[in-house]
Amino acid sequence: MLQLTDSALWVGLLGFAGGLPFLLVAAPAGTLAEQIDRRLILLACQTGALTVSSLLAFLVLSGQATPLALLIATVLNGALLAANNATRQAALPSYVPRASIPNAVALLSAGMNTTRIVGPSLAGPLVATLGVGGTLLVQAGCLVLALLNTARLPATPPARPVSGSFFRTLVEGVSYVRRVPVVLALLLLASVPTLLVFPYLQLLPVFARDVFHLGPSGLGLLYTVGGAGALTGSLFVAGLQRARHRGFLMVAVIVIYGGVIATFAMTRWLPLVLICLFAGGFLGASYMALNNALLHLAIDDEVRGRVMGLYMITWGFMPLGALPMGALGDAIGVPAAVLAGAVASSLLALLVAWRVPALLRLP
């Protein structure tokens, strides 16, 4: 998109297109995951993602790629990702005992963050040698492997018998969240940094090209350093099974996370930039794993799919936040926009913790 349009706004719009389906798909997918075999949903999502990636590779290689085509492909991929992630979250307790959920969540996050290291570190050299189209074909090949791996998962029966209409079941999940202040606060804390801080990841191509004056390999380095920090943070949380006061720790991590990304936005010295990206990846992954684990432990099994579907909506806030941040970046500069979002995130996290003090007492 940056090559086609040369605009931070269009890059942000692409992120917006990827996040919008989360608002529409994640909650219904979580509800569906309570009613049918979750493995079938995962297989359907992987097949759809493979199809989208292959078609996009064809458009790029044939010279027919347009900004509109990229937006459509991103919307479709976002819908598949929303359904996949909501289902995967709902299925997690089917494979591990309740006491191991925090570790399982952290290890799941570590697995996802591993791809953030391997993918970008390969993408830079691949784009330089194979071009964007060739790199998309490699991505399609990776999705074939993901589909085969998903097929090996054991079947997961419905969490409960289907009762009532689908829409009524979905509404009951929303009502449950509204009735439990801690669960609502955890969802808010999942939303704030995702909306206001995480969009810096979507705008790293702009930082790499226009602020730090780096090429594709340099962009890969930025993503890889951040991914390495994220993997380290996920593994760190995986070792906190016996830790206490994880609620207080989560709030502290969110506040510090905003400060680190604010520092990243203000600096131009590459070594400090890399330190901030590593620390940001570490803190961002730690906060997500802590928040996710605490949410799993705070909810009842009979509403897990619906609540985790609502939780996955917050994942869409990162690309959704990229649109206004990209627009603000065009107006006042991308670094200033990222700085404003990071500071606002820390302040809002403190406000949520002040309004729901029970958060700080979560074990």
Task: Express each pLDDT in 233-261 by its tens digit.
Answer: 878 877 766 667 888 999 999 999 999 99
Highest mean pLDDT among 6-15, 174-183, 300-309: 174-183
Distance CA 304, CA 295 (A): 9
Region 118-143 average pLDDT: 82
The domain 2-361 having CATH identifier 3.30.1490.100: the answer here is no
- Decide if pLDDT at 222 tops 70: yes
pLDDT tens per residue, range 150-169: 888 888 776 565 566 677 77
Mean pLDDT for the stretch of residues 14-29: 82
User: What integer pLDDT is reported at residue 163 of this predicted model?
Assistant: 60
- Tell me the average pLDDT of the chain: 84
Confidence (pLDDT) at 172: 80
Query: 132 falls in which pLDDT band (50, 70, 90)?
Result: confident
Provide the residue ranges of all domains of the chain, joining segments of one domain with +: 2-361
Q: Per-residue pLDDT for 318 more than 90?
A: no
**Number of C-beta neighbours around residue 318 at 10 A:** 23
| Whole-number pLDDT of residue 34 | 77
Percent of the residues in the chain that have a pLDDT greater than 90, as a whole number = 26
Of all residues in the chain, what percent carry a pLDDT higher than 70?
93
Please determine, for residue 300, whether its predicted confidence score (pLDDT) is greater than 80. Answer: no
Chain-centre distance for alpha carbon 57: 23
Most confident of 155-159, 211-215, 347-351: 347-351
Describe the chain by its helix, strand, coil percentages, rounded to 5: 85, 0, 15
pTM beyond 0.95: the answer is no
pLDDT confidence of 187, banded at 50, 70, 90?
very high
pLDDT in the model for residue 319: 66
What's the pLDDT score for residue 185?
A: 93
Nearest to 325 by CA among 338, 314, 313: 338
Confidence of residue 56 (pLDDT cuts 50, 70, 90): very high
Asked if 27 contacts 331 with a C-beta cutoff of 8 angstroms, the reply is no
Angle at 150 (CA atoms; ends 194, 148), nearest 5 degrees: 125
pLDDT category at 214 given cuts 50, 70, 90 is confident
Task: Round to whole Å and give the CA distance between 363 and 237.
Answer: 14
For residues 31, 100, 318, 306, the Cα torsion angle rounded to the nearest 10 degrees is 10
| C-beta of residue 58 within 8 angstroms of C-beta of residue 348 | no
Q: Is the pLDDT of residue 141 over 70?
A: yes
Task: Look at residues 190, 212, 291, 277 and name the one whose alpha carbon lies nearest to residue 249.
Answer: 291
Number of C-beta neighbours around residue 222 at 10 A: 22
Nearest CA-CA partner of 197 in 312, 21, 8, 339: 339
pLDDT tens digits for 82-117?
888 888 888 887 778 877 777 787 777 667 656 655
